[in-house]
Every structure is written in structure tokens, then in C-alpha cells.
Structure 1
């Protein structure tokens, strides 16, 4: 990053960006380092519409969910799934109680 690497480069054909990977794998410090350098914390994956917040919630990374929400991630972003799930749906479906708590805190879905 310090040497000018493009942090919002998309992988083709998925549209996956480094923030998606960091969120999915639970790398809180990497997410925190990437966020200030991005145009958006909510880039959707091509074909599914999942954002980094969807991926963190689905994987159970509550610390990453918190970082993304604090950076302004959209807790109500709808994925292009048959059910049109938001990150909260994914966290509930996977049984990630800590993510549900973060997503329903005043700055999340309820806020």
C-alpha cells in the first residue's frame, strides 16, 4: 500500500477486491488499513452483489463487521440472491451471534 498499490483493483470476472478477501478471511487490521484508501466500503461482487460486509457477516468475523460499519458500510445492502439477503440475514442463517449483535447495534440495521 505504501508503494502505490491500487487497493481497489477488481479481480475479473467476479469483481472481488482486496477488501472482500480481507473481510472474508477476518483480517481486521488489513480491512482497517484498506478502508481509508477506498472510494467505497461497499463494492458489490459481480453476479451476487455481496459486499465486504456480507462476506464478514457470513463468515462470522464480528470484529471486521464492526470495522466496516464504523467506516460507513451499508448494513441494509441487498445481495442479488434469490432471497435478497442483507448482511444480518447471513449472520443469522450461519448462527453468528456476535455479528448479529454488531449489525443490530445503533449504528447497524437498527440505526
Structure 2
């Protein structure tokens, strides 16, 4: 499955638009990662735990979107956009969403 942020796939023609597809992941960040991030906030540096969680959520969101496109008979997803939000009363949930257009290629 080709997944791209561009509106087309170089060297290929879009034969048919199958529809908009989404991938969504809502992930909780555990207590230990919160402690590590709080320490990084005080002393500086990158929060590896949060970065790993963000990477995992992004990858899962893209994979879910590609699976939904494949179920529609698409060969590619074009025009992909991604968004990140924090949710929950204590901002303790991370939401990653992506969307694009599922297409059939020649």
C-alpha cells in the first residue's frame, strides 16, 4: 500500500477515488512515563518515553488507515494529513489521527 502526503503518486495515474479513510489511535501514557517527563521538564532533555509512545501511536494510526483503504480495494492513500491532540481531564491521553483519500491506480 502506497501512503503519501502528496495529491498523486509519481508515475502512476489515479483511476478511481474510493473515498476518505481514517486511522485513529487514543493511547494512555503510563505513570512511569509521566514521572520521567516531569523530570525532563525540570532538568531539560528529551522525554524518550513520550517520544516512543508518540511514534507507536503514529505508526498504528497509519497502519489502521492503510488497512481500511485495502478493505476498500485501494492501491494507495494520497493527500495524507496527520493530527495530534491530548485528551482527558489531566491531559493524560494522546490521540493521533490521520486521514487521506483511498485511490485505485492504473
What TM bracket, shorter-length normalisation? under 0.3
Which has the larger Rg?
2
TM-score scaled to structure 2, two decimals? 0.21
More strand by share: 2
TM-score scaled to structure 1, two decimals? 0.21
More helix by share: 1
